[in-house]
């Protein structure tokens, strides 16, 4: 199953009042394991950056001035997303901005049927607790010490680890080659998974040639117990 974890940074809180996406970061999962494939882009919002928003993500007018407009990268982004489920923290916010941008440049919007909201999952698992990304990373022991300001790809990386924890934990990513002590590290499964290339599952039944080789091998064993009394 292919899923995309994504996050956006914006000029504000409401695309209906003219706010725009200025950054998007996406991470591909196959069966809840990172494949190493990512998508990341900055966009020129064609409007001034409010100081309050810049204080959160650090993306100012000078930095964004020479970046492409969303419309110039929309097709590339949609190709990466494909038809995968899309996972975000407070997903209605990110979906609202993504679909607003797609609508402005004439692309079909993304169906809300594809939306997975990690805040909704967290509220079910931990009612009454804090459900911010920072609070949940603390709850699950996910290292966010390198998160000084918000950044779309960085937040998507943290959210990927959180999503795995919220939906079953890291046993799905165990690497048999990892030492027992390393396997208990909160980040080792994701790190090892990211370094591996996804391969289609192998069939688990023996073919005719394998069965013939097995029969030939068995025939070379003298005095086999399973042949006792077969005469």
Residue among 126, 131, 150, 204 flagged as catalytic? 150
Give burial (CB, 10 Å; 0-12/13-18/19+) of 53. Answer: buried
Cα 89 from chain centroid (whole Å): 12
The alpha carbon of residue 104 and the mean position of all alpha carbons in its chain are separated, in whole angstroms, by: 26
Q: How far is CA 38 from CA 97, 153, 211, 227, in A?
A: 20, 9, 42, 57
**204 in catalytic set:** no
| H helix and E strand count, the chain | 10, 5
Dist CA 130 CA 217 (whole Å): 62
Residues catalogued as catalytic: 150
């Amino acid at each position: 199953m292919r899923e995309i974890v994504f996050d956006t940074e914006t000029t504000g809180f409401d695309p209906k009042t003219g706010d725009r996406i200025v950054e998007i970061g996406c991470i591909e999962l196959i069966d809840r394991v990172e494949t190493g494939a990512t998508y990341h882009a900055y966009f020129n919002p064609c409007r001034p950056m409010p100081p309050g928003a810049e204080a959160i993500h650090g993306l100012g007018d000078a930095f964004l001035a020479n970046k492409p407009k969303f419309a110039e990268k929309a097709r590339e982004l949609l190709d990466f997303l494909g038809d995968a489920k899309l996972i975000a923290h407070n997903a209605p916010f990110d979906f609202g901005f993504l679909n607003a941008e797609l609508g402005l440049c004439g692309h079909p919007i993304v169906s809300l049927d594809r939306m997975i909201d990690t805040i909704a999952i967290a509220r079910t698992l931990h009612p009454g607790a804090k459900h911010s990304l920072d609070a949940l990373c603390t709850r699950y022991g996910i290292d966010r010490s390198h998160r000084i300001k918000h950044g779309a790809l960085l937040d998507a990386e943290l959210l990927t680890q959180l999503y795995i924890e919220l939906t079953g934990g890291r046993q799905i990513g165990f690497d048999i080659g990892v030492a027992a002590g390393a396997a208990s590290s909160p980040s080792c499964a994701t790190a090892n998974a990211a370094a591996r290339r996804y391969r289609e599952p192998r069939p688990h039944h023996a073919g005719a040639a394998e069965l013939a080789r097995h029969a030939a091998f068995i025939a070379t064993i003298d005095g086999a117990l399973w042949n006792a009394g077969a005469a």
